[in-house]
C-alpha cells in the first residue's frame, strides 16, 4: 500500500509556467490566435473530463440501486415528464463528487484505475483527507492532507462546538474541497465522528460545511467508526490463532474492537466492540488542570486512568474468559493500535529525530517499553514533554491522556507485543468505495 504522506507520489503540483518567452510571443503575429485555439482545446478537454466523471458517478448510483432492489422486483415505471418547478439556488458539491453516494459493490473498482476516490475524516482533533486511485488489489495515494483543528475543544464543558473550533475545521475543509476539485475526484465519502455526535450544534455545523465548502459530511455511529478503522488497518495484525483486539484512540472517543478471521486473507469479523467518550481531547478537558509538582501530575494521571478503566469495565468483564482461554491455549494475545497517540509513542520508542511513517507504520513494539514511555511522559512537565522529539508543542498537552488510555487497554488485554498502524478510517473508507475488501460486521 502506498504511503499516505502529504505529498503525492505522482509529484507535487507544478508552479505556474514561466512567462520568460512573453516578448518573443508578442512579436509573432499568429501567437494570439494559437493561444486562443490552445485555450479552447484545453477547455474542451476539461469539459470532457467533467462529463466522464459525471457519467461514472451515474453508473455507480445505478449499480447501487440495482444491488439494493429485491430479487424479481421491477424498476419503477417512468412518469411523464413535467415542467420543472423553479428551485431555490444552493451551492453544489464539488464536480464529480455525488453527495451521500453508497459504496460500489465488491470488485466494481476494477476498470476505474484512472478515476480518483477520496476519503475525509473529520475527527475531534484532526481533519484528514486521502485521495487515491485503484491499483490491483490495493490503491495508490495521489494526494493527502492532515491538519490539527481541535474541533472538540471546550466541548466537554459546553456541549457545543465553539465558533473558533468550527472556523479552524472549515479552513481545513476548504483546502480539502479544493483538492477534491483539482484532482477530479469521482467518488468520495466524508465522515464526522465523536465531536459532531456529541455537540448539540453538530447537525447545524454539518449543514454549514455543506453550504460553504460543498462537502457532504455524514455523522457516523461509533460502531461504523470502529468498522472503518478495522477495515483500514487489520492487514497489519500479526498472524496467530484466536481473536485479536484492535483499538483506535481518537480525540473524543476510544474504540476497542474484538475481531476474528473466518478465512485467511479475508476481511475480519467483528465479535464485540465498545466505544467510550474519552479520547485525548475529551479526557484532558474532563480532568483537573495540569499543575507543576510531580505529585499533582501523578494524581492527575491516576484520575485519567480511573475514568478510562470505569468506561472499559463492562467490556473488560466480557473479555475476561476469552482472554484467559487464549493465554492458556496459545500463550499470547494479539494487539493492534491505530491513532496519533500510538504512532507518536512508537516514534519515541524508535528514537526518531522526526516522524517517519515508513519506520512507524507496521512496526511491533514490546508493550513493556510502551508502559515505560507512558510513565516517563506522565511525570514530565508540559515544557519537558515539548522537548521530546516527535511530540513537540502540538501533542505535548494531549499525549498524557493518550498514555492513560493506552495503559488501561494494556491492563484489560495484556499482550506482550503491540502492532502499530498509521492508517485507519480513511483507508477503510477507500477500500469500501473501491470495493477492494468486502464489508465486515455490518453497519451499526
Q: What confidence tens digit (pLDDT) does each residue in 44-57 have?
A: 556 555 655 555 45
Domain for residue 93, yes or no? no
The per-residue pLDDT for 295 is: 93
What is the distance between the alpha carbons of residues 198 and 124, in angstroms, rounded to a whole number? 10
The per-residue pLDDT for 263 is: 62
The per-residue pLDDT for 267 is: 75
Residue 196 domain boundaries: 116-220
Same domain, 301 and 362: yes
| CATH number, residue 243 | 3.30.420.150
The last residue of one of the domains, among 175, 197, 220, is: 220
Is the backbone of residue 336 left (phi > 0), alpha (psi -120 to 50) or beta? beta
Domain for residue 42, yes or no? no
The per-residue pLDDT for 378 is: 95
What is the distance between the alpha carbons of residues 257 and 223, in angstroms, rounded to a whole number? 9
What is the distance between the alpha carbons of residues 187 and 181, in angstroms, rounded to a whole number? 11
In the DSSP assignment, the letter for residue 136 is: T
Same domain, 257 and 312: yes
* φ/ψ of residue 44, rounded to 5: -65, -40
Is the sign of the CA dihedral 264, 443, 127, 141 positive or negative? positive
The per-residue pLDDT for 61 is: 57
Residues 6+ apart with CB under 8 A from 333: 244, 245, 323, 326, 327, 413, 414, 415, 416
| CATH number, residue 154 | 3.30.420.40
Residues 6+ apart with CB under 8 A from 214: 91, 92, 93, 94, 97, 177
Residue count of the chain: 444
The last residue of one of the domains, among 173, 192, 220, is: 220
The β-bridge partners of 256 are 247, 274
> Helices 294-330 and 399-412 meet at what angle, rounded to 10?
30
Same domain, 145 and 271: no
| Unique residue bearing C-alpha cell 495540569 | 290
The per-residue pLDDT for 88 is: 44
The per-residue pLDDT for 296 is: 94
Same domain, 258 and 211: no
Task: Give alpha helix (H) positions in 31-188.
Answer: 31-68, 155-158, 163-182
* φ/ψ of residue 306, rounded to 5: -65, -45
The per-residue pLDDT for 393 is: 87
In the DSSP assignment, the letter for residue 67 is: H
Same domain, 337 and 207: no
The per-residue pLDDT for 268 is: 87
Q: Please give the grid coordinates belonging to residue 400.
A: 498524557
What is the distance between the alpha carbons of residues 162 and 165, in angstroms, rounded to a whole number? 5
The per-residue pLDDT for 12 is: 34
CA atoms within 13 A on the CB side of 208: 13
* Predicted model pTM: 0.74
Domain for residue 23, yes or no? no
The last residue of one of the domains, among 220, 249, 281, is: 220
Same domain, 379 and 261: yes
Domain tally, the chain: 2
Count other Cβ atoms within 10 Å, centred on residue 314.
10
The residue ranges of the chain whose pLDDT is under 70 are 1-113, 262-266, 436-444
**Nearest CA among 379, 377, 380, 383 for reference residue 348:** 377
Domain for residue 161, yes or no? yes
What is the distance between the alpha carbons of residues 434 and 107, in angstroms, rounded to a whole number? 7
The per-residue pLDDT for 368 is: 98
| Unique residue bearing C-alpha cell 499533582 | 296
What is the distance between the alpha carbons of residues 109 and 105, in angstroms, rounded to a whole number? 8
Same domain, 151 and 237: no
Same domain, 268 and 354: yes
Domain for residue 252, yes or no? yes
What is the distance between the alpha carbons of residues 386 and 372, in angstroms, rounded to a whole number? 18
| Unique residue bearing C-alpha cell 498524557 | 400
Same domain, 255 and 402: yes
User: For the purposes of burial, counting CB atoms within 10 Å of the CB of 339, is it exposed (0-12), middle (13-18) or buried (19 or more)?
Assistant: buried
Domain for residue 209, yes or no? yes
Same domain, 266 and 216: no
The continuous run of DSSP H or E covering 285 comes out as helix 280-286
The per-residue pLDDT for 78 is: 42
Same domain, 181 and 318: no
Same domain, 317 and 419: yes
Report the b/e string of 231-262 with b at 16+ CB within 10 A. Answer: bbbbbbbeeeebbbbbbbbbbbbbbbbbbebe
Amino acid at each position: 500500500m502506498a504511503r499516505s504522506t502529504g505529498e503525492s507520489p505522482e509529484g507535487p503540483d507544478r508552479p505556474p509556467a514561466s512567462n520568460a518567452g512573453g516578448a518573443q510571443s508578442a512579436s509573432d503575429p499568429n501567437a494570439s490566435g494559437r493561444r486562443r485555439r490552445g485555450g479552447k482545446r484545453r477547455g474542451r478537454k476539461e469539459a470532457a473530463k467533467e462529463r466522464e466523471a459525471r457519467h461514472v458517478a451515474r453508473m455507480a448510483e445505478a449499480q447501487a440501486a440495482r444491488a439494493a432492489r429485491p430479487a424479481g422486483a421491477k424498476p419503477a415505471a417512468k412518469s411523464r415528464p413535467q415542467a420543472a418547478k423553479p428551485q431555490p439556488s444552493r451551492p453544489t458539491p464539488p464536480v464529480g463528487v455525488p453527495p451521500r453516494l453508497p459504496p460500489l459493490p465488491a470488485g466494481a473498482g476494477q476498470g476505474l484505475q484512472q478515476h480518483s476516490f477520496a476519503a475525509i475524516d473529520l475527527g475531534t482533533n484532526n481533519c484528514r483527507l486521502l485521495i487515491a486511485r485503484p491499483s490491483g488489489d490495493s490503491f495508490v495515494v495521489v494526494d493527502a492532507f492532515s491538519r490539527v483543528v481541535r474541533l472538540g475543544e471546550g466541548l466537554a464543558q459546553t456541549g457545543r462546538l465553539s465558533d473558533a473550533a468550527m472556523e479552524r475545521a472549515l479552513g481545513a475543509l476548504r483546502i480539502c474541497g479544493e483538492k477534491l476539485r483539482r484532482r477530479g475526484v469521482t467518488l468520495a465519502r466524508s465522515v464526522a465522528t465523536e465531536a459532531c455526535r456529541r455537540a448539540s450544534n453538530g447537525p447545524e455545523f454539518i449543514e454549514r460545511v455543506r453550504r460553504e465548502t460543498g462537502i457532504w459530511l455524514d455523522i457516523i455511529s461509533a460502531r461504523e467508526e470502529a468498522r472503518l478503522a478495522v477495515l483500514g488497518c487489520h492487514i497489519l495484525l500479526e498472524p496467530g490463532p484466536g481473536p485479536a483486539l484492535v483499538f483506535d484512540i481518537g480525540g473524543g472517543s476510544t474504540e476497542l474492537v474484538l475481531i476474528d478471521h473466518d478465512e485467511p486473507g479475508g476481511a475480519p469479523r467483528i465479535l464485540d466492540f465498545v466505544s467510550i467518550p474519552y479520547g485525548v481531547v475529551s479526557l484532558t478537558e474532563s480532568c483537573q488542570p495540569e499543575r507543576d509538582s510531580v505529585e499533582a501530575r501523578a494524581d492527575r494521571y491516576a484520575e485519567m486512568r480511573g475514568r478510562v478503566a470505569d468506561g472499559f469495565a463492562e467490556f473488560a468483564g466480557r473479555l475476561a474468559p476469552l482472554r484467559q482461554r487464549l493465554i492458556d491455549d496459545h500463550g499470547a494475545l494479539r494487539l493492534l493500535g491505530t491513532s496519533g497517540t500510538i504512532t507518536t509513542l512508537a516514534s519515541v520508542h524508535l528514537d526518531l529525530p522526526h516522524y517517519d511513517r515508513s519506520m512507524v507504520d507496521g512496526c511491533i513494539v514490546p508493550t513493556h517499553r510502551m508502559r515505560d514511555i507512558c510513565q516517563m511522559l506522565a511525570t514530565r512537565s508540559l515544557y519537558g514533554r515539548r522537548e521530546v522529539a516527535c511530540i513537540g508543542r502540538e501533542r505535548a498537552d494531549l499525549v498524557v491522556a493518550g498514555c492513560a488510555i493506552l495503559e488501561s487497554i494494556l491492563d484489560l488485554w495484556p499482550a506482550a507485543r503491540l502492532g502499530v498502524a498509521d492508517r485507519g478510517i480513511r483507508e477503510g473508507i477507500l477500500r469500501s468505495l473501491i470495493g477492494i475488501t468486502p464489508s465486515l460486521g455490518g453497519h451499526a
